Amino acid sequence: MGNIVSHNYRADHRRRIAQEAAELLYTGQEKEYKQAKFRAAKTLGVHVLPSNAEVAVELDRIAGEREGETRLERLIQMRRKAIRIMEVLEDFSPILVGSVWRGTANRNSDIDIVVYAQNPQNIVSALQKNNYIITKNEVQTITEKGEKRQSFHIYVNLPSNNQAEIVVRNLEDIDRRVKCETYGDAVTGLTIQQLRQVLRENPQQKFLPT
């Protein structure tokens, strides 16, 4: 009996932390899952941390409750905007990732697209040629298993007040699968052809691990 009570106690605290962390993320008080979980745990005086996926489930629930049908309409519009950007960058094997791919986008979400090129300036030129407003470029470095990897990030403001982030990766990484920090599965995303099919057949479709 003691083990059952202990398990339920921990599960209840994980759920409370996940809910509080999701609230912090949704309201913009925190930007990263890790910081949101630690702050939530400190606020509630609990030392049991949920997974990022547990927080994501609560974040998705909060957005659904507070945004209603407008959230689903926004998702479709964001996917349509994404495909227009991807068509401009079609020569660079664009993949839609992030919350717009997942189908969990909320009012704070932007459009995340990965492309592959040896020269990031080719991406910048293609966007500018098609009148996209670039607000910032930056190189980001991450360390995976002791190996440093760089990617070039391009931030674009859209007329709808949405923002798009274009991540330029090296051509040799085109077949490399990245693990999702939120859900723990592989980030497969959607190609142009796949996104077109989704918009035709089920524009509100979610892509979440089962």
pLDDT digits (tens, 9 = 90+) for 140-174: 887 766 778 889 999 999 987 889 999 999 999 99
Give me the mean pLDDT over the 170-188 stretch: 91
Partners of 156 in the β-ladder: 134, 164
| Domain assignment of residue 209, yes or no | no
Cα–Cα distance measured from residue 149 to residue 165, given in angstroms and rounded to the nearest whole number: 18
94 and 161 part of one domain: yes
- The torsion region of residue 68 among left (phi > 0), alpha (psi -120 to 50) and beta comes to left
Q: What is the pLDDT of residue 93?
A: 97
**Same-domain status, 12 and 90:** no
pLDDT at 206 over 90: yes
- Give the pLDDT mean for 109-133: 96
Residues 27 and 101 occupy one common structural domain: no
Instruction: Work out the end-to-end distance of the chain between its first and last CA atoms, rounded to an integer number of angstroms.
Output: 30
CA angle, 205 then 102 then 73, to 5° = 55
pLDDT tens digits for 32-69?
999 999 999 999 998 889 999 999 999 999 999 999 99
Provide the domain count of the chain: 2
Element housing 144 (H / E): strand 133-144
Residue 20 and residue 110 in one domain? no
By residue range, what is the domain housing residue 16? 2-50
pLDDT of residue 63: 96
What is the average pLDDT across 173-184?
90
Mean pLDDT throughout 13-19? Answer: 94
Q: Which amino acid is at 113?
A: I
Q: Which helix (H) or strand (E) holds 149?
A: strand 147-157
- 100 and 14 co-located in one domain: no
Q: What is the CATH number of the domain that holds 196?
A: 3.30.460
Residue 107 lies in a domain: yes
Contact of 163 with 109, CB cutoff 8 Å: no
Q: How far is Cα 149 from Cα 146, in angstroms, rounded to an integer?
A: 10
Compute the distance between CA of residue 15 and CA of residue 106 in angstroms, rounded to an integer: 21
The predicted model scores a pTM of 0.90
Residue 106 maps to a domain: yes
**Within a domain: residue 70?**
no
- The model's pLDDT over 83-117, given as tens digits with 9 standing for 90+, comes to 999 999 999 999 999 999 999 999 999 999 999 99
Contact 106, 67 (CB under 8 A): yes
